[in-house]
Amino acid sequence: MASLLVRPTAPDTQGTVIDVTPESAGWTHVGFRVHKLAKGQRLEASSSDQEVCLVLLTGRATVTCGEHRFEDIGERMDIFEQIPPYAVYLPNGVSYSVEATTDLELAVCAAPGHGNHAPRLIASDNIKQSTRGQGTNTRHVHDILPETEPADSLLVVEVFTPAGNWSSYPPHKHDVDNLPHETLLEETYYHRINPEQGFAFQRVYTDDRSLDETMAVENGCCVLVPKGYHPVGASHGYSLYYLNVMAGPKRAWKFHNDPDHEWLMNV
């Protein structure tokens, strides 16, 4: 099995600092990249056999795909402004370009596409915002590409967890194809931390503990969740952001809580 903790690298010629493919992760569905582009730098790419959701984590850009052109989009200059991002959905089988009109941090979320949807802008004011949990389990959610919005495979969401709080908690999993009770979804967590010298912890474990890893996660790291429960804890003094990408055989998010900890739902 691939290492579950993917650390950022120095940017390559296309600004790539994180590059997760199905091959590198040892799974089937999810691909994920992060590019850091300087103002004026351009990313040229093809979606190949995958649909893509481009998430402008910070900065502004012009995105072009055929006759579709989304000019100078973006509003969030710092992730921890905690406002929804701009994003662009692209189907499989297209070429596209992203030109940074300011310094840009761009997430490229990918999963198998079937050509059923046209390119479209996902504007920040169309992204649902909600708060989950209570007390030290409180976190704030932006649904960028939820199952209620059209796509073939992708599910994309971002979560802000206040310092000292827990998230993806009580622990839950989605690794069994068993609708309507649970769906099989691979998942990536891209973490950002404020201030950036901080850290968080993420555990990934199965009922039989055949997989049981706890990782110290630093700013810019990505965690792979091929199966199992996957709670996250933000350390005192450090706010945590993560971007989730999920995909599997069926496009639905149905999860199963760890029975040992489900009692927390009633507290």
Q: Report pLDDT digits (tens) over 171-221.
A: 999 999 999 999 999 999 999 999 999 999 999 999 999 999 999 999 999
Mean pLDDT of the chain: 97
Say what the pTM is: 0.97
Cα(136)–Cα(101) distance, rounded to whole angstroms? 38
Q: What is the pLDDT of residues 109-163, one digit of tens each?
A: 999 999 999 999 999 999 999 999 999 999 999 999 999 999 999 999 999 999 9
SS3 245: strand
Q: How confident is the model at residue 1 (pLDDT cuts 50, 70, 90)?
A: low
Q: Are 244 and 157 in contact (CB under 8 A)?
A: yes
DSSP-derived secondary structure letter, 152? S
- Is pLDDT above 80 for 2? no
Residues 6 or more apart from 47 whose CB is under 8 A from it?
Answer: 90, 91, 92, 93, 94, 95, 96, 110, 113
CA distance 48 to 46: 5
Is the pLDDT assigned to residue 64 strictly greater than 80?
yes
Bridge partners (DSSP) of residue 122 are: 87
